[in-house]
């Protein structure tokens, strides 16, 4: 329990006082390790913007799939809570980067983007879920 509290304080401190401190509505790039901590410690919406076929091959726990290439993508974003932090990822960072711009335009308050996408997550040997 003490370790979780300590890790939460460290992540909170790092995100609050980092040299890349973000203002409201600014995108914060996070590493795979930072993302893992955010998922564990913060009430955060995790969105995978890859296609449903890519999502089926493996995804990060607690994520929901909203396909960036889908014709209903922008409509699907409106179903998310703008006041809650949101963390987006794709395969390598291209689509999630484009998505963060749309999230900013839509008025989302706290936006995180996984640097390097799920490829970096896998590189760091972090857990991948698959639909059974």
**Domains of the chain by residue range:** 22-123
In this structure, what DSSP letter does residue 78 have? T
Q: What is the pLDDT of residues 31-82, one digit of tens each?
A: 999 999 999 888 999 999 999 999 999 999 889 999 999 999 999 999 999 9
Tens digits of per-residue pLDDT, 83-117? 999 999 999 999 999 999 999 999 998 999 999 99
Q: Minimal CA–CA distance to 87: which of 126, 132, 123, 41?
A: 41
- φ, ψ at 117 (rounded to 5°): 65, -165
DSSP 8-state secondary structure symbol assigned to residue 80: S
CATH class of 22-123: alpha beta
For residue 38 the two structure tokens come to: 């955010």
The answer to whether 38 and 110 are in contact (CB under 8 A) is no
SS3 15: helix
pTM above 0.85, yes or no: no
């Amino acid at each position: 329990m003490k370790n979780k509290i300590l890790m939460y304080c460290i992540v909170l401190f790092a995100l609050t006082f980092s040299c890349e401190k973000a203002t409201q509505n600014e995108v914060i790039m996070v590493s795979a390790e930072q993302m893992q901590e955010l998922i564990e410690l913060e009430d955060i919406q995790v969105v995978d913007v890859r296609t449903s076929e890519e999502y089926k091959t493996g995804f990060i726990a607690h994520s929901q799939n909203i396909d960036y290439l889908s014709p209903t993508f922008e409509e699907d974003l409106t179903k998310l809570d703008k006041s809650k932090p949101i963390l987006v990822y794709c395969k390598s960072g291209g689509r999630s980067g484009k998505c963060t711009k749309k999230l900013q335009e839509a008025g989302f308050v706290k936006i995180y983007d996984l640097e390097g996408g799920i490829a970096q997550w896998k590189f760091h040997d972090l857990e991948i879920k698959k639909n059974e």
